[in-house]
């Protein structure tokens, strides 16, 4: 009789217990909020390992350990926003490094790359990994490949393992923004990525009351460089933000399951609408990314995009007419949101570039929450009618 290979805790369990322990002095089950800027030292430079809160904070460290565990990494480095985490990773590269990025990317990332780092000598190429050979898309001089997958807002799916193999062959590093999928549905480190990033503002926290970011890795050199930059630049989250995010993570598995359940019903409704020319959702069998998504993802959450027939004005009217969905930027909260990328999250991308990449003026992005799905569909239905007037 063969012996079964012992398995570690399920990710649902890790959401609640991963990287955490009871507070040793009082036995508090939930890690406390250490609201302090500094720590007493027994003797000059003789301390407990905590000297200044920009460098170390126990609440922040609990969050870092927890999310690292969820992603299958050994280290987490938390920041004050998702863009701060992105900025820190780019700062670890040589000054004239070349970065390859997916062509469909969050507008804030595009702005940071092209308006900040290009001024300091870095070069960027934005490529569609679904339409180019990987060897052509990633030249040998590349220092870093940046992937969102699924992407924002067109929800393209890129083959993480294939890109990772190319990066390894040429000595480049691979960073994957896993904000949309979360470790519940996708674990890029296991597929060969070197570092995973999240805007913890989104699904990780899940309640639209925190701004934060985090980078996870099992690479000691990347961790050391990120930790140095975190301390040197100081873009750290406050302890309350870390605590709120850690509390949110405890229900991540439950929330993602409900987001997905609701999204599938909304996708089915949208696909049947004559005024919707295309629905973007990678776990829908009609989506171009479905084959890769089914291979590297175990599911997907509540992010849906769709092309609404008609003018930009009609799309604006649709977004302004919903009553359950709130027209707002951001995503991943328990409440449903919708937005118009052309004038909101991706307004920093020049219009001609947006359209060339397939981001139409009538593209609407939904973040489907955990409300009753019938109420959500009824709300979209009445907005559809209102936008025709």
User: Active site residue: 103, 104, 159, 177, which one?
Assistant: 177
The greatest distance separating any two alpha carbons of the chain, rounded to the nearest whole angstrom, comes to 74
Element (H, E) at 161: helix 160-170
Q: DSSP 3-state assignment of 105?
A: coil
Annotated catalytic, 202?
yes
User: Active site residue: 60, 166, 202, 255, which one?
Assistant: 202
What is the number of other CB atoms lying within 10 angstroms of the CB of residue 307? 19
Annotated catalytic, 111?
no
- Whose tokens are 């909101």? That residue is 344
Distance in angstroms (rounded) separating the CA atoms of residues 71 and 373:
29
Distance in angstroms (rounded) separating the CA atoms of residues 71 and 189:
7
User: Active site residue: 106, 203, 280, 281, which one?
Assistant: 106
Q: DSSP 3-state assignment of 374?
A: helix
User: Active site residue: 39, 50, 54, 219, which one?
Assistant: 54
- Whose tokens are 């399951």? That residue is 257
196 neighbors 188 (Cβ within 8 angstroms): yes
Listed in sequence order, the residues at least 6 apart from 249 whose beta carbon sits closer than 8 Å to its beta carbon are 15, 63, 66, 67, 70, 204, 205
Integer Rg of the chain from CA: 21
301 neighbors 181 (Cβ within 8 angstroms): yes
User: What are the Cα distances from residue 362, in Å, to 266, 282, 341?
Assistant: 18, 20, 9
Distance in angstroms (rounded) separating the CA atoms of residues 142 and 263:
37
Q: Of 327, 341, 266, 323, which is closest to residue 300 (Cα–Cα)? A: 266
Distance in angstroms (rounded) separating the CA atoms of residues 196 and 68:
9
What is the number of other CB atoms lying within 10 angstroms of the CB of residue 255? 25
- Whose tokens are 């040429």? That residue is 170
Give the residue numbers marked as catalytic.
54, 106, 177, 202
């Amino acid at each position: 009789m063969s012996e079964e290979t012992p398995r570690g805790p399920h990710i649902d369990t890790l959401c609640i217990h991963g990287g955490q322990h009871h507070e040793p002095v009082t036995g508090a089950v939930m890690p406390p909020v250490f609201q302090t800027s500094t720590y007493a030292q027994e003797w000059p430079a003789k301390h407990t390992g905590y000297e200044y809160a920009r460098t170390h904070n126990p609440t922040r460290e609990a969050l870092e350990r927890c999310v690292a565990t969820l992603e299958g990494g050994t280290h987490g480095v938390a920041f004050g926003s998702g863009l701060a985490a992105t900025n820190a990773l780019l700062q670890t590269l040589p000054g004239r490094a070349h970065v390859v990025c997916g062509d469909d990317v969050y507008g804030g990332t595009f702005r940071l790359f092209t308006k900040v780092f290009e001024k300091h000598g870095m070069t960027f190429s934005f490529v569609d990994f679904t339409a180019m050979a990987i060897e052509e898309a990633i030249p040998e001089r590349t220092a870093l490949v940046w992937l969102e997958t699924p992407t924002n807002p067109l929800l393209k799916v890129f083959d993480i393992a294939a890109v990772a193999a190319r990066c390894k062959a040429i000595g480049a590093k691979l960073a994957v923004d896993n904000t949309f999928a979360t470790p519940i549905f996708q674990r890029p480190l296991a597929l060969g990525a070197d570092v995973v990033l999240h805007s913890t503002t989104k699904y990780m926290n899940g309640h639209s009351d925190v701004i934060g970011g985090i980078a996870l890795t099992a690479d000691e050199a990347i961790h050391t460089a990120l930790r140095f930059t975190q301390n040197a630049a100081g873009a750290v989250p406050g302890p309350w933000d870390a605590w709120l995010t850690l509390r949110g993570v405890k229900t991540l598995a439950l929330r993602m399951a409900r987001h997905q359940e609701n999204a599938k019903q909304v996708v089915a409704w949208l696909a049947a609408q004559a005024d919707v020319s295309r629905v973007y959702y990678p776990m829908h069998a009609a989506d171009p990314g479905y084959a890769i998504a089914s291979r590297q993802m175990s599911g997907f959450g509540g992010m849906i995009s769709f092309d609404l027939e008609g003018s930009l004005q009609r799309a604006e009217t649709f977004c302004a007419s919903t009553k359950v969905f709130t027209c707002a930027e951001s995503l991943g909260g328990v409440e449903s949101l919708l937005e118009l990328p052309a004038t909101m999250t991706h307004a920093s991308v020049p219009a001609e570039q947006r359209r060339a990449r397939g981001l139409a003026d009538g593209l609407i992005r939904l973040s489907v929450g955990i409300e009753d799905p019938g109420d959500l569909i009824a709300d979209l239905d009445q907005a559809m009618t209102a936008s025709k007037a």
